[in-house]
Amino acid sequence: MILGGFEIIGKAYNGEEAVSIFKSFSVKPKVILMDHRMPLKNGIEASKEILRIERTTKIIFTTADGSIKEEAFAIGAFSFLDKLFSIEYLIDEITRAFESYNSSLSD
Amino acid sequence: MKVLIVDDMKENLYLLERLIKKMGYEVVVAENGKQALEKLHRDNFILVISDILMPVMDGFQLLKAVRSDIKFNDVLIIIYTASYLEKEDEELALDLGADRFVRKPLDPEKLIEIIKNVIQTQEMRTNDFSKTIIKEEKELLKLYSERLIHKLEQKMVDLEKAYNRAEFYKDLFSHDIKNILQSIFAGIQTCDLQLTDSNKLGIIKKNLPVIKDQLLRGITLVSNIHKFSKLDESEPTLSRIEISNILRRVITNKKNSSIEKKINIEVDAFSDRIFILANELIEDVFENLLINAVRYNKNPTVEIIVRISEMERKSRKYSKFEFLDNGYGIDDSRKKEIFQRISIEDKSVHGMGLGLSLVKKIIESYNGDIWVEDRVKGDISKGSNFVLIIPDVN
């Protein structure tokens, strides 16, 4: 992440933590890297809730579970990285997510 | 003294034959109830040991046939079954006139005891089955049907469990292996980025692309297992899919995929939303066709046009996809051949590597068709046009 010039402001180990940490921020994170298969709450469910709280959040799925790809896009994910992905591709997608976030603000 | 053993599984016949021969009896075998009946008519047997679940004529039907014929009143019948194990099955067998109902598997010694017992107590047992079958014909038929249906339902449940188990392991394997490979990949990339060009580290740096290659082959293999298994299904699950988003995604990925070449991909579609009857493998079809268009192209700028139109063939409506490239074309002699084999090069580092033969298989599973033409007829130097047609959804 340091290589891309990004700052990580939070980490969660399951979907429930993800949502509660998201809620705890007064200034919401713009881009989220989301896994899917997690205990307590999965990535899709967590994303739904996060997007309900803040619609403009850019969620990038980084799960090894390819079967949920269409569903991820259907619920509003910004991107879905098929494993394996290179670091460059990850950085590119995160950059694209920030650009998209910033341009949607000015709309 | 002759014993007739009836079972459709050769291993069972073999084991039982050995056991009974050891007891000093002559053994005759039959693979189903019909064969057993034929042999019973031709010879004298003191005992029949029969399975229930057999093709052509099962154990219950055999019992009924034997006990309806007074000629066989003295023939002892033991039912020896692995599948019909419930109380109702036993009751039906005894109602139909079996002398004993034995559940597999049973210790050989115990089985021998039962056989001895049945033979020794023969005088004491009834040989008038017109009275033993106190239940009416209709009732017996009803019971028989019930047992069959019950058995069928059980087998369906077992089958579903087995299928789910297979799916589960396949899924688990695929998911977990991907995670492992991703971590290794990330680790290698990090190392790669940290290494400077000093002589000592030069060798390590040279090896990293090789390791990367292997990883990507591994991931392709994992993806392919999943796809192959989907294609194996006799009834591919197809649903109404809107493909323009999928196509757009694949195109965006491809545009950025090459360092050496510039890639331009344009879409010329008759509609913003196009529906076909397909499944998620359509993404692999698009990927593969675009990979080929990029790979087999010597120009510094790769130009691809994806044209989507509608067409009718034999009064059926299709969506037609044309992938026109400016690559170095395909000779007429090879136009059919390229779809016929999976070539080793296709299992490549470039990600998907399904091969045109598999793409063809996928399209055919949609009841569609795929072929290649010259972009400019007769002039292969101007590039190729891969055409695929997929049935429209009404």
Task: For the beta carbon of residue B273, count every other beta carbon within 10 angstroms.
Answer: 9
Q: Which domain holds residue B17?
A: 2-134
Domain boundary among B232, B251, B283: B232
Among B13, B25, B4, residue whose Cα is nearest residue B116: B25
Same domain, B299 and B258: yes
C-alpha distance across the termini of chain B, in Å: 71
B115 and B198 share a domain?
Answer: no
Verify whether the Cβ–Cβ distance A87 to B190 is below 8 Å.
Answer: yes
Give which of A2, A67, A84 to mutate to test B binding, by max B Cβ within 10 Å.
Answer: A84
Please check whether residues B6 and B111 belong to one and the same domain: yes
Contact at CB, A87 and B181, closer than 8 angstroms? no
SS3 B230: helix
The pLDDT profile of chain B, 394 residues, written as one tens digit per residue, is 999 999 999 999 999 999 999 999 999 999 999 999 999 999 999 999 999 999 889 999 999 999 989 899 999 999 999 887 889 899 999 989 999 999 988 999 999 999 999 998 887 887 777 655 556 777 888 888 888 888 888 888 888 888 887 877 777 777 878 888 888 888 888 777 777 656 657 777 777 777 776 777 677 767 766 776 677 666 778 889 899 989 998 898 888 777 678 899 999 999 999 999 998 889 889 988 998 888 888 888 999 999 999 999 888 899 999 999 998 888 888 888 788 754 444 333 333 335 787 788 889 999 999 999 999 998 888 999 999 999 987 5
Residue B368 forms part of a structural domain: yes
- Residues, chain A: 107
pLDDT at B93: 92
**Do residues B354 and B255 share a domain?**
yes
Phi, psi at residue B281, to the nearest 5°?
-70, -10
DSSP code at position B390: E
Residues B244 and B347 in one domain: yes
Q: Check whether residue B272 and residue B221 sit in a common domain.
A: no
B383 φψ region: left (φ > 0), alpha (ψ -120 to 50), beta (else): left
Domain for residue B141, yes or no? no
B325 found inside a domain: yes
Both B387 and B259 in a single domain?
Answer: yes
In a domain, B149, yes or no: no
Structure confidence at residue B350 (pLDDT): 31
First to last CA, chain A: 28
Query: Is B245's CB within 8 Å of A87's CB?
Result: no
Closest by CA position to A51, among listed A26, A23, A25: A23
Evaluate whether B263 touches B255 at the Cβ level (below 8 Å).
yes
Question: Distance (Å, rounded) from C-alpha A56 to C-alpha A31?
Answer: 9
Per the CB < 8 Å rule, is A84 touching B179?
no
Q: Do B307 and B281 reside in the same domain of the chain?
A: yes
* Cβ-based interface (< 8 Å): residues of A facing B: 3, 37, 64-67, 69-70, 73, 83-87, 92
Number of domains in chain B: 3
Of B193, B219, B245, the CB nearest to A83: B219
What ipTM does the predicted assembly reach? Answer: 0.71
Taking 70 as the pLDDT cut, the residues of chain A under it are 1-3, 106-107
Contacts of residue B127, Cβ cutoff 8 Å, sequence gap at least 6: B73, B74
Residues present in chain B in total: 394
> Which CATH number does the domain housing residue B49 bear?
3.40.50.2300
Clarify whether residues B76 and B205 are in a common domain. Answer: no
**Position B128 in a domain:** yes
Residue type, B111: L
* Domain stops at, among B75, B102, B134: B134
Is A65 within 8 Å of B175 when comparing Cβ atoms? yes
Of A64, A67, A73, the CB nearest to B179: A64
B344 in a structural domain: yes
Q: Work out the burial of residue A59: count CB atoms within 10 Å of its CB; fewer than 13 is exposed, 13-18 middle, 19 or more buried.
A: buried
Residue type, B312: E
* B34 belongs to a structural domain: yes
Q: Say if B14 falls within a structural domain.
A: yes
- Domains located in chain A, CATH noted: 15-21+31-105 (3.40.50.2300)
Looking at the structure, do residues B381 and B299 belong to the same domain, yes or no? yes
Q: Closest approach of chain B CAs to the CA of A22, in angstroms?
A: 25
B contacts of A87 (beta carbons < 8 Å): 186, 189-190, 193
Q: Which of B174, B185, B190 sits opposite A84 (nearest CB)?
A: B185
Long-range pairs for B86-91: beta carbons < 8 A, 24 or more residues apart:
B86/B150, B88/B143, B88/B146, B88/B147, B88/B150, B89/B52, B89/B147, B91/B143
Residues B254 and B328 in one domain: yes
- Does residue B346 share a domain with residue B288? yes
Q: Domain with B376 in it: what CATH number?
A: 3.30.565.10
Which tokens go with A21?
Answer: 């940490």
Q: Give the pLDDT score at A40.
A: 84
Query: Against a cut of 0.95, is the pTM above it?
Result: no
Q: List chain A residues with CB under 8 Å of B181.
A: 83-84
Q: At what angle do helices B137-194 and A87-105 cross, to 10 degrees?
A: 90
